[in-house]
Amino acid sequence: MRGLMNKLLSRSLSVAGKWQQQQLRRLNIHEYQGADLMNKYGINVPKGVAVSTIDEVKEAVKSAFPNESELVVKSQILAGGRGLGTFQNGFKGGVHIVKADQVEDIAGKMLGQILVTKQTGPQGKVVSKVYLCEKLSLVNEMYFAITLDRKTAGPLIIACSKGGTSIEDLAEKYPDMIIKVPVDVFKGITDEDAARVVDGLAPKVADRNDSIEQVKKLYMLFCERDCTLLEINPLAETSSNQLVAADAKLNFDDNAAFRQKEIFALRDPSQEDPREVAAAKADLNYIGLDGEIGCMVNGAGLAMATMDIIKLHGGTPANFLDVGGNASEGQVVEAFKILTSDDKVKAILVNIFGGIMKCDVIASGIVNAAKQVALKVPVVVRLEGTNVDQGKRILKESGMTLITAEDLDDAAEKAVKAASK
Protein backbone atom coordinates (compact mmCIF):
# COMPACT_ATOMS: atom_id res chain seq x y z
CA MET A 1 0.00 0.00 0.00
CA ARG A 2 2.84 2.38 0.91
CA GLY A 3 4.50 1.65 -2.44
CA LEU A 4 1.26 2.49 -4.28
CA MET A 5 0.89 5.74 -2.33
CA ASN A 6 4.50 6.72 -3.03
CA LYS A 7 3.98 6.00 -6.72
CA LEU A 8 0.80 8.04 -6.80
CA LEU A 9 2.40 10.92 -4.87
CA SER A 10 5.39 10.98 -7.21
CA ARG A 11 3.19 11.16 -10.29
CA SER A 12 0.94 13.70 -8.61
CA LEU A 13 3.85 16.03 -7.98
CA SER A 14 5.08 15.55 -11.54
CA VAL A 15 1.72 16.37 -13.12
CA ALA A 16 1.09 19.15 -10.60
CA GLY A 17 4.38 20.76 -11.49
CA LYS A 18 3.57 20.73 -15.18
CA TRP A 19 0.04 22.00 -14.51
CA GLN A 20 1.24 24.84 -12.30
CA GLN A 21 3.83 25.81 -14.86
CA GLN A 22 1.19 26.17 -17.56
CA GLN A 23 -1.85 27.18 -15.51
CA LEU A 24 -0.35 30.49 -14.39
CA ARG A 25 -1.82 32.41 -17.29
CA ARG A 26 0.12 35.64 -17.65
CA LEU A 27 -0.20 38.04 -20.53
CA ASN A 28 2.98 37.98 -22.60
CA ILE A 29 3.59 40.78 -25.10
CA HIS A 30 5.96 41.05 -28.04
CA GLU A 31 9.41 42.59 -27.79
CA TYR A 32 8.47 45.67 -29.83
CA GLN A 33 5.45 46.28 -27.60
CA GLY A 34 7.59 45.99 -24.47
CA ALA A 35 10.16 48.39 -25.90
CA ASP A 36 7.44 50.92 -26.67
CA LEU A 37 6.09 50.64 -23.13
CA MET A 38 9.53 51.06 -21.56
CA ASN A 39 10.22 54.07 -23.75
CA LYS A 40 7.11 55.75 -22.30
CA TYR A 41 8.64 55.37 -18.84
CA GLY A 42 11.89 57.00 -19.88
CA ILE A 43 13.81 53.73 -20.04
CA ASN A 44 16.54 53.63 -22.66
CA VAL A 45 15.72 51.24 -25.53
CA PRO A 46 17.12 50.85 -29.05
CA LYS A 47 15.31 52.74 -31.79
CA GLY A 48 13.03 50.28 -33.58
CA VAL A 49 10.04 49.87 -35.89
CA ALA A 50 7.70 46.86 -36.10
CA VAL A 51 6.56 45.95 -39.62
CA SER A 52 4.26 43.29 -41.03
CA THR A 53 4.68 43.62 -44.83
CA ILE A 54 7.54 44.09 -47.28
CA ASP A 55 6.16 47.50 -48.24
CA GLU A 56 6.31 48.52 -44.59
CA VAL A 57 9.90 47.21 -44.42
CA LYS A 58 10.90 49.43 -47.37
CA GLU A 59 9.23 52.48 -45.85
CA ALA A 60 10.74 51.88 -42.38
CA VAL A 61 14.29 51.53 -43.71
CA LYS A 62 13.87 54.69 -45.76
CA SER A 63 12.16 56.90 -43.17
CA ALA A 64 13.32 55.62 -39.76
CA PHE A 65 16.89 54.53 -40.57
CA PRO A 66 18.07 56.68 -43.49
CA ASN A 67 21.67 56.90 -42.25
CA GLU A 68 22.12 53.38 -40.86
CA SER A 69 24.46 51.03 -42.72
CA GLU A 70 23.41 47.98 -40.66
CA LEU A 71 20.18 46.98 -38.94
CA VAL A 72 18.99 44.19 -36.67
CA VAL A 73 16.04 42.17 -38.01
CA LYS A 74 14.15 40.34 -35.26
CA SER A 75 11.26 37.95 -35.80
CA GLN A 76 8.44 38.60 -33.33
CA ILE A 77 7.01 35.51 -31.63
CA LEU A 78 6.10 34.88 -28.01
CA ALA A 79 8.90 32.39 -27.32
CA GLY A 80 12.57 32.46 -26.49
CA GLY A 81 15.49 31.08 -28.45
CA ARG A 82 14.66 32.99 -31.64
CA GLY A 83 18.27 33.55 -32.61
CA LEU A 84 18.98 29.82 -32.72
CA GLY A 85 15.60 28.88 -34.19
CA THR A 86 14.90 27.50 -37.65
CA PHE A 87 12.02 28.37 -39.95
CA GLN A 88 9.99 25.57 -41.47
CA ASN A 89 11.00 26.92 -44.88
CA GLY A 90 14.61 26.04 -43.97
CA PHE A 91 15.84 29.56 -43.22
CA LYS A 92 17.97 29.56 -40.08
CA GLY A 93 17.88 32.14 -37.30
CA GLY A 94 15.09 34.43 -36.19
CA VAL A 95 17.45 37.33 -35.44
CA HIS A 96 19.93 38.72 -37.99
CA ILE A 97 22.30 41.69 -38.22
CA VAL A 98 22.44 42.68 -41.88
CA LYS A 99 23.39 45.47 -44.24
CA ALA A 100 20.61 47.99 -44.81
CA ASP A 101 20.15 46.87 -48.41
CA GLN A 102 19.62 43.26 -47.27
CA VAL A 103 16.87 43.97 -44.75
CA GLU A 104 14.04 43.51 -47.26
CA ASP A 105 15.32 40.09 -48.35
CA ILE A 106 15.83 38.79 -44.80
CA ALA A 107 12.49 40.12 -43.56
CA GLY A 108 10.78 38.46 -46.53
CA LYS A 109 12.13 35.08 -45.42
CA MET A 110 10.63 35.59 -41.95
CA LEU A 111 7.24 37.24 -42.44
CA GLY A 112 4.36 34.79 -42.60
CA GLN A 113 6.66 31.84 -41.90
CA ILE A 114 6.69 29.39 -38.99
CA LEU A 115 9.65 29.70 -36.63
CA VAL A 116 10.58 26.70 -34.50
CA THR A 117 12.67 27.25 -31.37
CA LYS A 118 13.47 25.23 -28.26
CA GLN A 119 10.50 26.89 -26.55
CA THR A 120 7.83 26.68 -29.27
CA GLY A 121 7.69 22.92 -29.65
CA PRO A 122 7.89 21.26 -33.09
CA GLN A 123 4.76 23.06 -34.29
CA GLY A 124 6.50 26.44 -34.07
CA LYS A 125 4.85 29.87 -34.14
CA VAL A 126 3.96 32.12 -37.04
CA VAL A 127 5.92 35.34 -37.53
CA SER A 128 3.40 38.07 -38.29
CA LYS A 129 5.77 40.96 -37.60
CA VAL A 130 9.49 41.64 -37.63
CA TYR A 131 11.16 44.29 -35.52
CA LEU A 132 13.76 46.44 -37.26
CA CYS A 133 16.22 47.96 -34.78
CA GLU A 134 19.28 50.14 -34.87
CA LYS A 135 22.52 48.23 -34.37
CA LEU A 136 24.13 49.35 -31.14
CA SER A 137 27.80 49.16 -30.28
CA LEU A 138 27.71 47.26 -27.00
CA VAL A 139 30.68 47.27 -24.66
CA ASN A 140 29.16 45.29 -21.78
CA GLU A 141 26.17 42.99 -21.22
CA MET A 142 24.39 42.40 -17.90
CA TYR A 143 21.25 40.68 -16.63
CA PHE A 144 18.33 42.40 -14.88
CA ALA A 145 14.92 41.16 -13.78
CA ILE A 146 12.06 41.99 -11.44
CA THR A 147 9.72 39.24 -10.36
CA LEU A 148 7.40 38.43 -7.45
CA ASP A 149 8.88 36.53 -4.54
CA ARG A 150 6.79 34.37 -2.19
CA LYS A 151 9.42 34.40 0.56
CA THR A 152 9.56 38.20 0.89
CA ALA A 153 5.93 38.67 -0.23
CA GLY A 154 6.87 41.40 -2.66
CA PRO A 155 8.91 42.36 -5.73
CA LEU A 156 12.41 40.96 -6.00
CA ILE A 157 15.08 42.49 -8.23
CA ILE A 158 17.67 40.08 -9.62
CA ALA A 159 20.87 41.41 -11.17
CA CYS A 160 24.05 39.94 -12.56
CA SER A 161 27.15 41.65 -13.97
CA LYS A 162 27.16 39.00 -16.73
CA GLY A 163 24.37 38.79 -19.30
CA GLY A 164 23.38 37.85 -22.80
CA THR A 165 22.67 34.21 -21.95
CA SER A 166 19.92 32.47 -19.99
CA ILE A 167 19.66 33.08 -16.26
CA GLU A 168 19.90 29.32 -15.75
CA ASP A 169 23.31 29.28 -17.44
CA LEU A 170 24.38 32.37 -15.52
CA ALA A 171 23.36 30.78 -12.22
CA GLU A 172 25.40 27.71 -13.06
CA LYS A 173 28.49 29.55 -14.27
CA TYR A 174 28.46 32.67 -12.08
CA PRO A 175 26.37 31.93 -8.95
CA ASP A 176 28.35 34.40 -6.83
CA MET A 177 27.72 37.22 -9.30
CA ILE A 178 23.93 37.08 -8.98
CA ILE A 179 22.44 39.41 -6.39
CA LYS A 180 18.86 39.62 -5.16
CA VAL A 181 17.36 42.80 -3.76
CA PRO A 182 13.89 42.49 -2.18
CA VAL A 183 11.80 45.67 -2.28
CA ASP A 184 9.29 46.59 0.42
CA VAL A 185 6.04 46.74 -1.51
CA PHE A 186 4.64 49.37 0.88
CA LYS A 187 7.65 51.70 0.89
CA GLY A 188 8.60 51.20 -2.74
CA ILE A 189 12.12 51.21 -4.10
CA THR A 190 14.58 53.44 -2.26
CA ASP A 191 17.78 55.03 -3.53
CA GLU A 192 19.64 52.50 -1.37
CA ASP A 193 17.80 49.58 -3.03
CA ALA A 194 18.54 50.92 -6.50
CA ALA A 195 22.19 51.54 -5.59
CA ARG A 196 22.56 47.93 -4.42
CA VAL A 197 21.18 46.75 -7.75
CA VAL A 198 23.59 48.97 -9.70
CA ASP A 199 26.47 47.70 -7.58
CA GLY A 200 25.44 44.17 -8.51
CA LEU A 201 25.29 45.07 -12.19
CA ALA A 202 28.72 46.70 -11.91
CA PRO A 203 28.46 48.87 -15.04
CA LYS A 204 31.81 49.77 -16.58
CA VAL A 205 31.09 53.00 -18.44
CA ALA A 206 27.50 54.08 -17.67
CA ASP A 207 27.00 56.89 -15.17
CA ARG A 208 26.14 55.50 -11.72
CA ASN A 209 23.44 58.06 -10.90
CA ASP A 210 21.82 57.66 -14.32
CA SER A 211 21.85 53.88 -13.84
CA ILE A 212 20.16 54.23 -10.44
CA GLU A 213 17.40 56.32 -12.07
CA GLN A 214 16.94 53.70 -14.80
CA VAL A 215 16.48 50.99 -12.15
CA LYS A 216 13.88 53.11 -10.34
CA LYS A 217 11.99 53.70 -13.59
CA LEU A 218 11.95 49.97 -14.32
CA TYR A 219 10.53 49.31 -10.86
CA MET A 220 7.87 51.98 -11.41
CA LEU A 221 6.82 50.31 -14.67
CA PHE A 222 6.70 46.90 -12.95
CA CYS A 223 4.35 48.13 -10.22
CA GLU A 224 2.16 50.58 -12.12
CA ARG A 225 1.49 48.10 -14.94
CA ASP A 226 0.88 45.03 -12.74
CA CYS A 227 3.79 43.05 -14.12
CA THR A 228 4.57 39.56 -12.89
CA LEU A 229 7.92 39.55 -14.68
CA LEU A 230 10.16 42.20 -16.19
CA GLU A 231 13.33 40.60 -17.58
CA ILE A 232 16.02 42.43 -19.53
CA ASN A 233 18.71 40.23 -21.04
CA PRO A 234 20.94 41.83 -21.89
CA LEU A 235 20.82 45.12 -20.08
CA ALA A 236 23.70 46.61 -22.00
CA GLU A 237 26.15 49.46 -21.96
CA THR A 238 26.82 51.20 -25.25
CA SER A 239 29.95 52.89 -26.57
CA SER A 240 28.15 56.18 -25.84
CA ASN A 241 28.19 55.30 -22.11
CA GLN A 242 24.45 54.67 -21.96
CA LEU A 243 22.57 51.89 -20.16
CA VAL A 244 20.11 50.31 -22.64
CA ALA A 245 17.46 47.59 -22.38
CA ALA A 246 18.62 45.71 -25.47
CA ASP A 247 16.05 42.91 -25.19
CA ALA A 248 13.19 42.60 -22.73
CA LYS A 249 10.39 40.26 -21.72
CA LEU A 250 7.34 41.52 -19.86
CA ASN A 251 4.51 39.47 -18.37
CA PHE A 252 1.38 40.91 -16.77
CA ASP A 253 -1.06 39.61 -14.17
CA ASP A 254 -4.30 38.48 -15.83
CA ASN A 255 -6.18 39.52 -12.70
CA ALA A 256 -5.31 43.13 -13.52
CA ALA A 257 -6.96 43.06 -16.94
CA PHE A 258 -9.84 45.23 -15.68
CA ARG A 259 -7.51 48.16 -14.92
CA GLN A 260 -4.84 47.57 -17.57
CA LYS A 261 -7.07 47.67 -20.63
CA GLU A 262 -4.41 49.37 -22.75
CA ILE A 263 -1.92 46.63 -21.97
CA PHE A 264 -4.32 43.73 -22.46
CA ALA A 265 -5.41 45.13 -25.81
CA LEU A 266 -1.91 44.11 -26.95
CA ARG A 267 -2.67 40.40 -26.51
CA ASP A 268 -1.86 38.40 -29.66
CA PRO A 269 -4.20 35.37 -29.87
CA SER A 270 -2.34 34.07 -32.94
CA GLN A 271 0.55 33.18 -30.63
CA GLU A 272 -1.62 31.19 -28.22
CA ASP A 273 -3.08 27.70 -28.34
CA PRO A 274 -6.39 28.20 -30.24
CA ARG A 275 -8.08 25.76 -27.86
CA GLU A 276 -7.05 27.87 -24.88
CA VAL A 277 -8.29 31.01 -26.63
CA ALA A 278 -11.68 29.36 -27.26
CA ALA A 279 -11.81 28.14 -23.66
CA ALA A 280 -11.06 31.61 -22.31
CA LYS A 281 -13.91 33.06 -24.38
CA ALA A 282 -16.24 30.43 -22.87
CA ASP A 283 -14.89 31.16 -19.37
CA LEU A 284 -13.40 27.69 -19.03
CA ASN A 285 -10.05 26.78 -17.49
CA TYR A 286 -8.22 24.78 -20.15
CA ILE A 287 -4.60 23.81 -20.70
CA GLY A 288 -3.60 21.56 -23.58
CA LEU A 289 -1.24 18.67 -22.77
CA ASP A 290 0.27 15.89 -24.89
CA GLY A 291 -1.80 12.84 -23.96
CA GLU A 292 -4.66 10.87 -25.48
CA ILE A 293 -7.43 11.09 -22.86
CA GLY A 294 -9.49 14.28 -22.86
CA CYS A 295 -10.71 15.27 -19.39
CA MET A 296 -13.72 17.37 -18.39
CA VAL A 297 -13.95 17.89 -14.66
CA ASN A 298 -15.40 20.41 -12.21
CA GLY A 299 -12.90 21.87 -9.78
CA ALA A 300 -9.13 22.18 -10.07
CA GLY A 301 -8.45 19.69 -7.27
CA LEU A 302 -10.64 17.00 -8.81
CA ALA A 303 -9.09 17.73 -12.19
CA MET A 304 -5.63 17.16 -10.77
CA ALA A 305 -6.74 13.93 -9.08
CA THR A 306 -8.31 12.74 -12.34
CA MET A 307 -5.10 13.37 -14.24
CA ASP A 308 -3.11 11.53 -11.56
CA ILE A 309 -5.35 8.45 -11.64
CA ILE A 310 -5.19 8.36 -15.44
CA LYS A 311 -1.38 8.34 -15.19
CA LEU A 312 -1.54 5.66 -12.50
CA HIS A 313 -3.46 3.38 -14.86
CA GLY A 314 -0.96 3.87 -17.68
CA GLY A 315 -2.71 6.62 -19.65
CA THR A 316 -1.81 10.23 -20.34
CA PRO A 317 -4.18 13.21 -19.99
CA ALA A 318 -4.63 15.32 -23.12
CA ASN A 319 -5.62 18.39 -21.18
CA PHE A 320 -6.62 20.06 -17.97
CA LEU A 321 -10.22 21.28 -18.30
CA ASP A 322 -12.09 22.66 -15.30
CA VAL A 323 -15.68 23.72 -16.08
CA GLY A 324 -15.96 25.28 -12.63
CA GLY A 325 -18.90 25.28 -10.26
CA ASN A 326 -21.40 27.34 -12.24
CA ALA A 327 -21.04 26.08 -15.79
CA SER A 328 -24.04 26.35 -18.08
CA GLU A 329 -25.15 23.81 -20.67
CA GLY A 330 -23.61 26.08 -23.31
CA GLN A 331 -20.24 25.97 -21.59
CA VAL A 332 -20.37 22.18 -21.40
CA VAL A 333 -21.13 22.06 -25.13
CA GLU A 334 -18.18 24.37 -25.79
CA ALA A 335 -15.96 22.17 -23.62
CA PHE A 336 -16.82 19.15 -25.74
CA LYS A 337 -16.09 21.08 -28.92
CA ILE A 338 -12.64 21.96 -27.58
CA LEU A 339 -11.93 18.38 -26.49
CA THR A 340 -13.00 16.86 -29.80
CA SER A 341 -10.96 19.39 -31.79
CA ASP A 342 -7.78 17.70 -30.56
CA ASP A 343 -6.82 14.94 -33.00
CA LYS A 344 -4.70 13.22 -30.34
CA VAL A 345 -7.72 12.56 -28.11
CA LYS A 346 -8.71 8.87 -28.27
CA ALA A 347 -11.21 8.90 -25.38
CA ILE A 348 -12.99 11.45 -23.19
CA LEU A 349 -13.42 11.15 -19.44
CA VAL A 350 -16.15 13.23 -17.79
CA ASN A 351 -15.70 13.24 -14.02
CA ILE A 352 -18.21 15.37 -12.11
CA PHE A 353 -18.66 15.57 -8.38
CA GLY A 354 -21.77 17.69 -8.06
CA GLY A 355 -21.92 20.33 -5.37
CA ILE A 356 -22.64 23.76 -6.75
CA MET A 357 -22.28 22.19 -10.19
CA LYS A 358 -25.35 20.03 -10.77
CA CYS A 359 -25.07 16.65 -12.47
CA ASP A 360 -28.22 17.17 -14.53
CA VAL A 361 -26.76 20.34 -16.09
CA ILE A 362 -23.63 18.43 -17.08
CA ALA A 363 -25.75 15.57 -18.46
CA SER A 364 -27.88 17.95 -20.54
CA GLY A 365 -24.72 19.60 -21.83
CA ILE A 366 -23.28 16.24 -22.87
CA VAL A 367 -26.46 15.34 -24.73
CA ASN A 368 -26.60 18.71 -26.52
CA ALA A 369 -22.93 18.48 -27.36
CA ALA A 370 -23.49 15.09 -28.96
CA LYS A 371 -26.11 16.68 -31.21
CA GLN A 372 -23.74 19.44 -32.32
CA VAL A 373 -20.42 17.60 -32.34
CA ALA A 374 -19.68 14.30 -34.03
CA LEU A 375 -18.41 12.24 -31.11
CA LYS A 376 -16.05 9.79 -32.78
CA VAL A 377 -14.30 8.66 -29.60
CA PRO A 378 -15.60 6.72 -26.58
CA VAL A 379 -16.93 8.82 -23.68
CA VAL A 380 -16.59 7.60 -20.09
CA VAL A 381 -18.88 9.33 -17.59
CA ARG A 382 -18.72 9.33 -13.82
CA LEU A 383 -21.35 11.46 -12.04
CA GLU A 384 -21.78 11.85 -8.31
CA GLY A 385 -23.42 14.41 -6.05
CA THR A 386 -26.20 16.98 -6.55
CA ASN A 387 -29.01 15.77 -8.86
CA VAL A 388 -27.01 12.66 -9.79
CA ASP A 389 -30.14 10.54 -10.40
CA GLN A 390 -31.61 13.16 -12.76
CA GLY A 391 -28.30 13.36 -14.56
CA LYS A 392 -28.04 9.61 -15.05
CA ARG A 393 -31.64 9.50 -16.27
CA ILE A 394 -30.99 12.22 -18.85
CA LEU A 395 -28.00 10.31 -20.20
CA LYS A 396 -29.87 7.00 -20.25
CA GLU A 397 -32.90 8.43 -22.06
CA SER A 398 -30.68 10.16 -24.64
CA GLY A 399 -29.83 6.85 -26.28
CA MET A 400 -26.17 7.79 -26.41
CA THR A 401 -23.53 5.09 -26.28
CA LEU A 402 -21.65 5.97 -23.11
CA ILE A 403 -19.37 4.06 -20.78
CA THR A 404 -20.51 4.65 -17.21
CA ALA A 405 -18.32 4.35 -14.14
CA GLU A 406 -19.11 4.08 -10.45
CA ASP A 407 -16.05 5.84 -9.03
CA LEU A 408 -12.93 7.72 -10.13
CA ASP A 409 -10.65 4.70 -10.19
CA ASP A 410 -13.15 2.73 -12.28
CA ALA A 411 -13.61 5.69 -14.63
CA ALA A 412 -9.88 6.17 -15.21
CA GLU A 413 -9.32 2.48 -15.82
CA LYS A 414 -12.13 2.35 -18.38
CA ALA A 415 -10.92 5.54 -20.10
CA VAL A 416 -7.38 4.18 -20.48
CA LYS A 417 -8.74 0.90 -21.82
CA ALA A 418 -11.05 2.70 -24.28
CA ALA A 419 -8.23 4.93 -25.53
CA SER A 420 -5.98 1.97 -26.24
CA LYS A 421 -8.45 0.21 -28.52
**Does 231 participate in catalysis according to the annotation?**
yes
- 82 labelled binding-site residue: yes
Amino acid at 305: A
Counting Cβ atoms within 10 Å, is residue 277 exposed (0-12), middle (13-18) or buried (19+)? Answer: middle
- 90 labelled binding-site residue: no
C-beta of residue 348 within 8 angstroms of C-beta of residue 294: yes
- 237 labelled binding-site residue: no
The rounded distance, in Å, linking the Cα atoms of 377 and 340 is 8
The rounded distance, in Å, linking the Cα atoms of 330 and 340 is 15
- 356 labelled binding-site residue: yes
- 74 labelled binding-site residue: yes
Active-site option among 31, 231, 276, 334? 231
| DSSP string over 339-373 | HHT-TT--EEEEEEEESSS-HHHHHHHHHHHHHHS
Contacts 24+ apart (CB under 8 A), 185-194: 185/153, 185/154, 185/155, 188/219, 188/223, 189/215, 189/216, 189/219, 189/220, 191/216, 193/157, 194/219
The rounded distance, in Å, linking the Cα atoms of 14 and 307 is 11
Q: What are phi and psi of 242, to 5 degrees?
A: -115, 145
Active-site option among 32, 131, 143, 286? 143
Question: Which H/E stretch holds residue 321?
Answer: strand 319-322
- 400 labelled binding-site residue: no
- 247 labelled binding-site residue: yes
**Range list of β-strands (E), 78-203:** 86-87, 95-99, 114-116, 125-126, 129-134, 138-149, 154-160, 178-182
**Positions at the binding site for substrate:** 298, 355-357
* Catalytic positions: 143, 231
Could you tell me which residues are annotated as the binding site?
74, 81-83, 141, 233, 247, 298, 355-357
List, as residue ranges, the binding site for Mg(2+). Answer: 233, 247
Q: State the binding site for ATP.
A: 74, 81-83, 141
